[in-house]
Chain A
Amino acid sequence: MSPPVLSCRGIRKVFGGQVVLDDLDLDVAEHEVVALIGASGSGKSTLLRCANLLEEIDDGTIALDGEHITDPRTDPDLVRRRIGIVFQAYNLFPHLRVLDNIALAPVRVHRRDRAEAEAQARELLARVGLAEKAGDYPDRLSGGQQQRVAIVRALVNSPRLLLLDEVTSALDPELVGEVLTMIRDLKADGMTMVLATHEMSFAREVADRVCFLDGGRIIEEGPPEQVLGEPTQPRTRQFLRRIIEAGRLQVG
């Protein structure tokens, strides 16, 4: 059997005396979609940032396709080219047109021919219905459009693994749909993904497995129906009860 695409073992991350991740284990198999849920501040974003080597872990190991990427001898720039990440706040480059945002990495990192990279970017944009926005600057786009561009930008490197950090939480409800459609399509294409989310309906719909983070660990995981429907841990139940009260999860 081939190794998991992502394998985290005993991850520990401390921010100035505060233990955010504590001996955390997580494996993600090829084509699998894993949703991370948990209270605000439980370390979901931190885990994703660690996996992309944007944060240095204090203990444990992270392997990508069986290769230890947390080994100090690996080149983090090479690792990041194989992992795409999309942030809650899109983080598009405001001084570059949509097309140039997407073509930047192929041209500069992979030294691809500009015309060829732009053609690929246009094709990807067309697929998500944003062909006519190619020449616009990001601030002329709606939030949902910007987020879809950010996802396209992360995909252009053909990553092995896509990390999505609350990609819908800055969006109006009407705009959430267009981003979710895009992620469903990616899942259908077999993309391996880890996503942090507060939208339980989103987790239920796209995730193969839901992991509940609490106290720096995954204290409960399983298929969405089980974790969201019949949680066994008291902490998970308490969390979901609060979510239901806030109206973010339809019961049933």
Chain B
Amino acid sequence: MSLLDHHPSPIARERAAYRKRQTVRSVLVAAASTGILGTLLVVAVTGSPGWERVRQSFLDPRIGREALPEILSGLWLNVRLLVFCALGALALGLVVAVLRTLRGPVFFPVRALAAGYTYTFRGLPLIIVIYVLTLGVPGLRLQGMPPVLVLGGIALVLTYGGYLAEVFRAGIESIHPSQLAAARSLGLTYRQTMRHVVLPQAVRRVAPPLLNDVVALQKDVGLVSLAGPIDAVRAAQIATAESFNYTPYILAGVLFVLLAVPLIAVTDWVTLRAARRQAAR
């Protein structure tokens, strides 16, 4: 029988109808409970004795509007830093992870260096790395010293490169040795095996944790403001100091969340897809 002219039996139709009724029911229940909970929350907050004070000092629309341009220009710095640092850290992490897999005495120094790097930068607080790079390194007074912003970016890349290298390494080690044997038996060299067989599978497998670290990086890029450049949070801090009102902080926080939403959504989608693929096996 062809796929198209199949008529479902009464039992199948009854099953489909039941499932549909169940779906409608759960949607209604979810909508009702969300509505009730939301109303209760709003009533509790706005009805509290200190609500007027809090609203004035945290949610003042006029102050928010005044601070917005500064915060947005700070946010633009966050976005640019995020893009460059994420790409830099991913590339560095991948290279370090691959170097750590090399076997043989020739590669001992490379391996040791790569291992030493990941140990150091995973253990070192980011703030210290930023201070050392942005305040200490320029003190050397070398020729052609890059601007502070670039040095701060390098600090972020070094720190996150260490985390990402470990994620990549876990992915590489999760690939079964039989895949290597199959590739080598076809005459592929070690490099070709890595490039065409191991890494594509490894990266796919660890994509969710990689993206998770990128989301974390998004919140940390603002720390370069410790060295001078003004990011969104620093801009909010300046505005707050001028007006004695915390609205700019709330505004910056909301903008950060909005910025993170697409990234987090992508992470969830990739994770879900990976889980599905795993389940299909």
Asked if A pairs with B, the answer is: yes
Partner-B contacts on A (CB < 8 A): 49, 52, 54, 76-78, 80-81, 83-85, 87, 89, 91-95, 104-105, 108-109, 139, 153-154, 157
Contact A93 B179, beta carbon cutoff 8 Å: yes
**Chain B neighbourhood of A78, CB < 8 A:** 187
**The stretch of B5-13, B138-146, B189-197, B263-271 that contacts the partner chain:** B189-197
Q: Can you list 20 A-B contacts (CB < 8 A)?
A: A54-B184, A78-B187, A80-B184, A80-B187, A81-B186, A81-B187, A84-B185, A85-B185, A87-B178, A93-B179, A93-B183, A93-B197, A95-B200, A95-B201, A95-B204, A105-B186, A105-B187, A108-B192, A109-B187, A153-B186
Chain B residue at minimum C-beta to C-beta distance from A82: B187
Asked if B185 and A77 make an inter-chain contact with CB atoms under 8 angstroms apart, the answer reads: no
Question: A33 to B183, alpha carbons, bound, how many Å?
Answer: 25
In contact, A157 and B181 (Cβ under 8 angstroms): no
Interface string of B151-193 (1 = CB under 8 A from A): 0000000000000000000000000001101111111110010
Q: Which of B184, B186, B201 contacts A104 (CB 8 A)?
A: B186
The answer to whether A139 touches B188, judged by C-beta atoms less than 8 angstroms apart, is no
Q: How far is the CA of A76 from the CA of B280 in the complex (A)?
A: 37
Contacts of B196 in A (CB 8 A): 104, 108
Partner of A87, one of B182, B188, B200: B182
A158 to chain B, nearest CB (A): 12
Q: Determine how close the nearest CB of chain A comes to the CB of B270; give it in whole angstroms.
A: 15
5 tightest CB-CB pairs across the interface, nearest first?
A81-B187, A91-B182, A105-B186, A109-B187, A85-B185
Q: Specify which chain B residues have a CB less than 8 angstroms from the CB of A104 in the assembled complex.
A: 186, 188, 196-197
Known: A93-B179, A139-B281, A153-B186. 16 other contacts (CB 8 A): A54-B181, A77-B188, A78-B187, A80-B185, A84-B185, A87-B182, A89-B178, A91-B181, A93-B183, A95-B200, A95-B204, A104-B186, A105-B187, A105-B188, A108-B192, A157-B187
Q: Which residue of B lies closest to A54 (CB)?
A: B181
Q: With A93-B197, A94-B201 in contact, do A108 and B178 touch (Cβ < 8 Å)?
A: no
Q: How far is the CA of A83 from the CA of B201 in the complex (A)?
A: 26
- In the complex the two chains form, what is the Cα distance from A186 to B211 in whole Å? 48
A102 to B181, CA, bound (A): 16
Give Cα A93–Cα B182 distance, bound, in whole angstroms. Answer: 8
Task: Please name all residues of chain A whose beta carbon is closer than 8 Å to the beta carbon of B188 when the two chains form the complex.
Answer: 77, 104-105, 108-109
Name the B residues within 8 Å of A77 (CB-CB).
Answer: 184, 187-189
Least Cβ–Cβ distance between A192 and chain B, in angstroms: 16
* B192/A109 in contact, CB under 8 A: yes
Interface size on B, residues (CB 8 A): 19
Determine the main DSSP class of B at the interface with A. helix
Give the residue among A87, A105, A153 with the most B Cβ atoms within 10 A: A105
Question: Chain A contacts of B192 at CB under 8 A?
Answer: 108-109
Contacts of A91 in B (CB 8 A): 178-179, 181-182
The proximity string for B residues 193-210 relative to A, scoring 1 for CB distances below 8 Å and 0 otherwise, is: 000110011001000000
Contacts A87-B181, A89-B178 given; does A80 touch B186 at CB 8 Å: yes
Nearest residue, chain B, Cβ from A94: B201
Residues of B with C-beta under 8 A to A139: 280-281
Output the least CB separation between B275 and chain A (Å). 15
Which one of A89, A108, A139 has the greatest number of beta carbons of chain B within 10 Å? A108
What chain B residues lie within 8 Å of A157 (beta carbons)? 186-187
| Cβ–Cβ < 8 Å partners of A153 in chain B | 186
Which residue of chain B lies nearest to A76 when distances are taken between CB atoms in the complex? Answer: B184
The contact string, 1 if C-beta is below 8 Å from chain A, for chain B 269-281, is: 0000000000011
Min distance, Cβ A124 to any Cβ of chain B, angstroms:
14
- The interface centre, meaning the residue of B182, B184, B188 with most chain A CB atoms within 10 A of its CB, is B182
Q: Which of B229-247 contact A (CB under 8 A)?
A: none
A87 to B281, CA, bound (A): 19
Collect the chain B residues with CB atoms within 8 Å of residue A94's CB: 201
Within 99-138 of B, Cβ neighbours of A (below 8 Å) are at none
B204's nearest neighbour on chain A, judged by CB, is: A95
Instruction: Give the docked Cα–Cα distance between A93 and B175 (Å).
Output: 11
Closest approach, in angstroms, between the C-beta of B177 and any C-beta of chain A?
Answer: 10
Complex interface: chain A residues within 8 A of B178 (CB): 87, 89, 91
For B181, list chain A residues within 8 Å (CB).
Answer: 49, 54, 87, 91
Q: Is the CB of A109 within 8 A of B186?
A: yes
User: Once the chains are docked, how many angstroms separate the CA of A205 from the CA of B182?
Assistant: 27
Let me know if B186 and A54 touch, CB within 8 A: no
Q: How far is the CB of B276 from chain A (nearest CB, A)?
A: 12
Chain B residues contacting A108 (CB-CB under 8 Å) are: 188, 192, 196
Cα separation A95 to B186 with both chains bound (whole Å): 17
- Whole-angstrom distance between the alpha carbons of A120 and B280 in the complex? 31
Closest approach, in angstroms, between the C-beta of B27 and any C-beta of chain A? 34
Residue of B nearest to A140 (CB): B280
Report the bound CA distance from A108 to B178 in whole Å: 19
Nearest to B202 among chain A residues (CB) is A95
